[in-house]
Amino acid sequence: MKPVRTLIIDDSSAMRRMLSDLLASDPEIEVAGTAGSAAVALKLLEETNPDVLTLDVEMPDVSGLELLVEIRKRRPKLPVVMFSSLTQRAASTTLDALARGASDYVAKPANTGSREASIEQVRAQLLPKLKALGGRSVIAAPAPRPGPRPRTPIKAVEPIEILAIGSSTGGPNALAELFKGIPRGLEVPVVVVQHMPPLFTKLLAERLSTLGSIPFVEAQDGERAEEGQGYVAPGDHHLRLVRQGNEVRCQLTREAPENSCRPAVDVLFRSVDETYPGRALALVLTGMGQDGLRGCEALARNGAQIVVQDEATSVVWGMPGFVARAGLAQAVLPLEGIAAETMQRLRPTPAGRFPTFPVEHQHVR
């Protein structure tokens, strides 16, 4: 396969040099060009025709958001990775950028202690994303089971008492789309792991709350999980649910990352299985890697229900793809159909059956 041609857009010459050297060290990536201003960036966009680009949140002549909008006019489907500092303002701007069509983001290194540590931090975050968004396979998916796997009809259904969601690349927009379709008055708690650093997760919770269906907060240690309330795992903390008597509470830890992630979907899903065995609905939305697969294996063993986003509507079909190909999903659906599916599973018909969707939405390739 050809290397992923990447255009670097950043107003800092030092950052452009570091990114250029870093990307050039990987044979699967090629630096298509570098730009320090919007005018040069748009010129190189036409001349180099990159597969993906990195875009600084803060540019000198126009804002990163304004440049993103112009790039989207010219290249509607070109993957764009925002490069953001870990500040309140930059985090807010990055979420705005994701809402306006950016594919993903990487946090600029801060307080790493050395230049080498900063480079390794960027390498670990950025290179896999460029390869995934540029069409290169980062982790080989397990072989699918023979033949298509249609939605599993369920005759006897345990009542759902918790909605657990995992997402990563493309997740903020997918979550927003999902909760636009969820009505008020949800009768179960909602717990979410979205791969994001601190600051970002708090802002994500605030933005999800503005959609009006469910109030969201960034989860706090010891907080009680209440019906109709949403909880987002804080950046750099695992979120677990634990039962204490008749109550279920949030537990935050900083144990080792899983799947190179903290928070990790697997950690949350395993705790959901322990706390609500067979009475959980898990959604796995767009995201890179395989976080969530092991947690779904545990959920499936106890009869939990699992729905995943399909490949066509995912920014990266990694997380949901792993679960689907492992045969763990009862439904593989486009993003626009998941809210309705969620409500049908939370409030099943008296017969305990669910409506049939078009066949093409049921198959796992």
Torsion sign across C-alpha atoms 51, 5, 7, 127: positive
Query: Residue 132 has what DSSP assignment?
Result: H
The reply to whether 11 belongs to the active site is no
User: Is 168 a known active-site residue?
Assistant: yes
CA–CA gap between residue 321 and residue 327 (Å, rounded)? 10
272 contacts 243 by C-beta, under 8 angstroms: no
Considering only CA atoms, which of 236, 320, 260, 333 is closest in space to residue 285? 320
Q: Cα–Cα–Cα angle for 137, 141, 147, nearest 5°?
A: 125
- Which residue among the candidates 10, 51, 195, 273 is catalytic per the annotation? 195
* β-bridge partners, 307: 283, 331
Active site residue 61: no
Whole-angstrom distance, CA of residue 239 vs CA of residue 313: 27
Q: Which of 103, 167, 168, 314 is catalytic?
A: 168
Of residues 10, 104, 291, 310, which has the active-site annotation? 291
Q: Mark 283-303 as b/e (b = at least 16 C-beta within 10 Å).
A: bbbbbbbbbbbbbbbbbbeee
Alpha-carbon span 65 to 63, nearest angstrom? 5
Which active-site residues does the annotation give? 168, 195, 291
